[in-house]
Each structure stands twice: as structure tokens, then as C-alpha cells.
């Protein structure tokens, strides 16, 4: 699988369950959300704009993913909704690795960059290193409609947390043949 195939395979409506562990033992949290992932082409205005801000030619990107999430399905938790855009720009020599740019869709001030690697095991690793945080996320498909993710976050104080996500793609039910279809065959 190449990087573009991985991105296009990620598109869809997903139901996500998340377990977040604070490694200092202070707490464990569980939550649920609906996530919409849309593959967008390199010539999309949002990608062009974000690439320009980062001094990258947008035609060098393979495109990106626009994420929207809503955890209102998680009863008893504060509602959280948001959007983010992830753009991948492969290295010329090895397109399975490259630069990533992540931005909040609704805010111009949340723009971070890092790198990615699509391994031989077809798992995508995203790494973001900033002054105050290190984030490493690994994504892979356990099946066509089952995606798994793990994230490790370490802040500037050394506190760490890890999160496991299981994501099930919402698939439209197959159309049941009507009695007219049965007669026609």
C-alpha cells in the first residue's frame, strides 16, 4: 500500500472508542465519538493555503485528510466537536516517508508540523516534536472497516499518556432485494 492509498482508505464515517491512560497512574479515561474523515486533493484551496503558509508547493503533497469529530454520542461527557486538516508531503526519494502539516480548520493559529512514515507493515506513524510536547501516533487497518490507532504524548515536564483507539467504519446496509427484483430474475 502506498501513502495515497492509505489516505483514501481512511476516508469515511467512523465510530471511535478511546481509552486514555495517564502513565503516572493518576487516571484512566474512556470516551466515544463519531469521526468523519474526508480525503482532499492537493489542489484543494485549504491544502494550497496551508502549504503556502509553510513554504511548500502544494503539488508536492499527496493530498490530505480533513477530520471532523463529535463526541456527543458519549453520554455524560462534555460535548466536544472540532475539525483538523492533515497534509502529507512525501520525500522525492522515498514517498513512504515525508513531512506532515496539521492544522485546526477553524483556527489559523494552530499549525504544527512533523514527519510521517508508512512502514512495510502498512502502519502509518505520525511524529510531532515541539518545544513543549512529543506526539507519536500509529495507525493501521485490522480490516477494511476496522482501523486501530495508538498515541503516546509526552509533555515538557516528562508526564506521559497513551491512548488506544478502535474505529469502526459505518457502512450503509446492503439493499435488500424487493419482491419485484426476485420476480425479475
Distance, in Å, from the CA atom of 18 to the CA atom of 29, rounded to the nearest integer, reads 8
Per-residue cell: 111 = 499549525
Helices (H), the chain: 3-10, 45-53, 179-184
Distance, in Å, from the CA atom of 147 to the CA atom of 165, rounded to the nearest integer, reads 8
* Topology adopted by domain 3-184: Lipocalin (2.40.128)
The band of 14, judged by pLDDT with boundaries at 50, 70 and 90, is very high
Per-residue cell: 160 = 506521559
Q: What's the pTM value of the predicted model, to 2 decimals?
A: 0.86
**Is pLDDT at 25 greater than 70 in this prediction?**
yes
Counting Cβ atoms within 10 Å, is residue 104 exposed (0-12), middle (13-18) or buried (19+)? middle
Distance, in Å, from the CA atom of 131 to the CA atom of 121, rounded to the nearest integer, reads 30
**Is pLDDT at 185 greater than 60 in this prediction?**
no
Higher pLDDT, 107 or 97: 97
**Is pLDDT at 174 greater than 80 in this prediction?**
no
Amino acid at each position: 500500500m502506498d501513502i495515497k492509498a492509505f489516505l483514501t482508505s481512511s476516508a469515511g464515517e467512523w465510530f471511535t472508542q478511546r481509552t486514555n491512560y495517564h502513565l503516572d497512574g493518576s487516571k484512566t479515561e474512556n470516551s466515544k465519538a463519531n469521526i468523519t474523515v474526508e480525503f482532499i486533493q492537493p489542489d484543494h484551496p485549504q491544502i494550497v493555503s496551508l502549504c503556502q503558509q509553510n513554504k511548500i508547493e502544494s503539488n508536492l503533497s499527496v493530498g490530505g485528510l480533513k477530520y471532523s469529530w463529535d463526541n456527543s454520542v458519549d453520554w455524560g461527557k462534555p460535548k466536544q466537536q472540532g475539525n483538523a486538516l492533515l497534509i502529507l508531503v512525501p520525500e522525492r526519494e522515498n514517498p513512504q516517508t515525508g513531512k506532515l502539516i496539521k492544522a485546526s480548520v477553524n483556527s489559523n493559529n494552530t499549525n504544527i508540523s512533523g514527519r510521517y512514515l508508512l512502514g512495510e507493515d502498512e502502519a502509518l506513524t505520525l511524529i510531532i516534536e515541539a518545544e513543549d510536547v512529543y506526539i507519536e501516533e500509529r495507525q493501521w487497518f485490522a480490516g477494511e472497516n476496522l482501523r486501530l490507532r495508538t498515541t503516546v504524548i509526552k509533555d515538557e515536564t516528562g508526564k506521559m499518556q497513551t491512548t488506544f483507539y478502535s474505529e469502526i467504519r459505518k457502512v450503509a446496509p446492503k439493499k435488500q432485494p424487493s419482491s419485484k427484483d426476485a420476480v425479475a430474475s
